């Protein structure tokens, strides 16, 4: 009788553990969902001028080729938002296509925005490609290229 009870107890514990693992697997977001969420968070940070959030989301060696062909670094972008010389009234992102390759993700999308950077009007519609790399368990953006869409 004790052997049967032990066997039943062991089977119950194994069953419970398998169910818990399956529930955790369902609860964990996919890499694509994580990146989509980061894109939304980044957009909110840009609209709010949240330089600290942008700093946390961006790799130190980040490069950005603007829609005007200018090269910007993380430091320049963070300083631009800290000083208020980068300011956006509106910005919507759409058409996100996220492809994950291990610890690297490539996002293409579209943005329509109204804003200024260093006294220049950066309003308009453009397409972008952003690259993320997972470092120490966190996704950080390492590069961005934007191209204006001509009407």
Predicted pLDDT of residue 72: 96
Burial 1-23 (b: 16+ CB within 10 A, else e): eeeeeeeeeeeeeeeeeeeeeee
Please give the tally of structural domains in the chain: 1
Cα–Cα distance for residue pair 112/148, rounded to 1 Å: 10
* pLDDT at residue 9 tops 60: no
User: Residue 57 sits in a domain of what CATH number?
Assistant: 3.10.450.50
Task: Tell me whether residue 48 is in a domain.
Answer: yes
Check if the beta carbon of residue 139 is closer than 8 Å to that of residue 69: no
* pLDDT at residue 57 tops 70: yes
Task: Tell me whether residue 18 is in a domain.
Answer: no
Average pLDDT over residues 137-144: 97
Task: Tell me whether residue 79 is in a domain.
Answer: yes
* pLDDT at residue 102 tops 70: yes
Higher-confidence position of 49 and 8? 49
Task: Tell me whether residue 10 is in a domain.
Answer: no
Quick one: tokens of 62?
């980040």
Query: What's the pTM?
Result: 0.79
Tens digit of each residue's pLDDT (9 = 90 or more) over 120-140: 999 999 999 999 999 999 999
Task: Tell me whether residue 45 is in a domain.
Answer: yes
Task: Tell me whether residue 17 is in a domain.
Answer: no
Task: Tell me whether residue 15 is in a domain.
Answer: no
Predicted pLDDT of residue 29: 83
* pLDDT at residue 148 tops 60: yes
Q: Which residue range forms the structural domain that includes residue 108?
A: 29-148
146-151 LR contacts (CB < 8 Å, sep 24+): 146/64, 146/65, 146/66, 146/67, 146/111, 147/67, 148/67, 148/124, 149/110, 149/124, 149/125, 151/125
Q: Which of 49, 39, 40 is nearest to 115 (CA)?
A: 49
The H-or-E segment that residue 59 falls in is strand 58-65
Identify the residue whose tokens are 């790399």.
Answer: 133
Average pLDDT over residues 51-73: 95
Tens digit of each residue's pLDDT (9 = 90 or more) over 21-31: 655 556 678 99
Task: Tell me whether residue 5 is in a domain.
Answer: no
């Amino acid at each position: 009788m004790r052997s049967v009870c032990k066997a039943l107890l062991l089977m119950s514990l194994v069953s419970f553990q398998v169910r818990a693992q399956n529930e955790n697997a369902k609860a964990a977001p996919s890499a694509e969902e994580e990146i989509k969420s980061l894109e939304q968070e980044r957009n909110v940070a840009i609209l709010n001028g949240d330089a600290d959030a942008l700093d946390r989301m961006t790799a130190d060696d980040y490069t950005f080729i603007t829609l005007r062909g200018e090269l910007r670094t993380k430091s320049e972008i963070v300083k631009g938002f800290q000083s208020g010389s980068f300011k956006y009234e509106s910005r919507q992102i759409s058409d996100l296509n996220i492809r994950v390759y291990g610890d690297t993700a490539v996002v293409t999308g579209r943005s329509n925005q109204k804003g200024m950077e260093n006294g220049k009007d950066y309003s308009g519609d453009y397409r972008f490609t952003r690259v993320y790399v997972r470092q120490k368990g966190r996704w950080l953006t390492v590069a961005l290229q934007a191209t204006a869409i001509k009407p």
